Amino acid sequence: MNIDFVNVSARYGDKQVLYNVSLSIPYRSVYALIGPSGCGKTTLLRSINRLNDLIPGFALSGEIIIRGEPVYAMKNKRQIQNLRLKTGMIFQRPNPLPMSVMQNMIFPYMEHIHASLPEARRLAEEKLRVVGLYDEIKDRLNKPAYMLSGGQQQRLCIARSLMLPTDILLMDEPCSALDPISTFKIEDLLSGIKKNHTIIMVTHNTEQARRISDYTAFFYMGRLIEAGSTLQIFSAPKQELTQKYITGRM
């Protein structure tokens, strides 16, 4: 049940952004993708649920295999939709949809799972508790989601993806727009979610990668430079580039 990248190369039109990346991500781990801006880590992340397909000119060669299924061999829309259902995604900027907190929570659920409204609401409350948001905002469930603070919005987005039968959570610098306390709350939350999710996180914050991830992969200019256990990468990096980056000399 690993997520395997096999010789993945990707380009936007003429611009190649990933070169022959091969990487295996173990199930139920927190995997950090680090590297300087423009190194291709976000492209790799967005390739996992085929969200890059929406960008004109995007092309990927190689294969990504999830749950034994080759993702880029999927031709059927339904299959891709199913893939996205099981793969939650958290973006750099919190992106609650323009509706109330509760509607945000039940929107994906009602779209895909034919459930009764009370059941959906019950589940929504349960998931809001998981992210520690329920007690904070229980009087504001019917208020527009953008009235929450940035950190609360991000936790709402995490709770929202938990409404679906996800077992993979993709996070694209989920804390870079948040204050330290909100960041701490989210990092804290991940250790719980990790019990039944594989979490892949792009981060610019090497300290964050060190604190919360089990494994780390370092990318530079579209190439995977080094991957391994976080302990090893941060204490005894094999590559000079990696060492330079994690010590902040790049």
Partner 1 sequence: MSNSLHMGVFMKYKERRVSSAAGQLYSWLTAAVVTAVCLLILLTVFIMGKEVLSLDFLTKEPNPSVMDTENTGGISTPIVGTVLLTLIGIAIAFPISLATAIYMTFYRKNGLAAQGLSLAIDVLSGVPTIVIALFSLAIFTNPAFTFLSTPVQNDGGIIEKAYGRSFLVAGLAMAIMILPFVVKAMSEALRAVPRAYMDGSMALGADKWRTICKIALPASTRGIVTGIILGMGRIMGDTAIVWLALGGTLRMTGEQPWFSPDNWLSTLRNTGSTLTSYIYYTSPAGEGNNLSVAFGAALVLILIIILLNAATALLGRAGKNEEEGK
Q: Where on the chain is the footprint of partner 1 (CB under 8 A)?
A: 49, 51, 54, 56, 77, 81-82, 84-85, 87-89, 91, 93, 95-99, 107-108, 111-112, 144, 146-147, 157, 160-161, 164
- 28 residue type, one letter: R
CA torsion through residues 86, 92, 94, 97, sign: negative
- CA dihedral of residues 199, 174, 102, 149 (deg, nearest 10): 150
The smaller minimum CB distance to partner 1, of residues 2 and 95, is found at 95
Least separation in angstroms between residue 112's CB and partner 1 is 6
**Residue closer to partner 1 (CB basis): 190 or 227:** 190
Residue 70 has φ and ψ, to the nearest 5°, of -70, 120
133 backbone φψ class: left, alpha, beta (φ>0; ψ -120 to 50): alpha
Q: What Å distances lie between residue 95 and 154, 160, 161, 208, 249, CA to CA? A: 7, 11, 12, 22, 33
Q: CB 243 → partner 1: shortest distance, Å?
A: 35
Q: Which is nearer to partner 1, 27 or 146 (CB)?
A: 146
Smallest distance from partner 1 to CB 51, Å: 6
* Cα–Cα dist 182/174, whole Å: 11
Between 85 and 241, whose beta carbon lies closer to partner 1?
A: 85
- Residue 100 C-beta: closest distance to partner 1, Å: 12
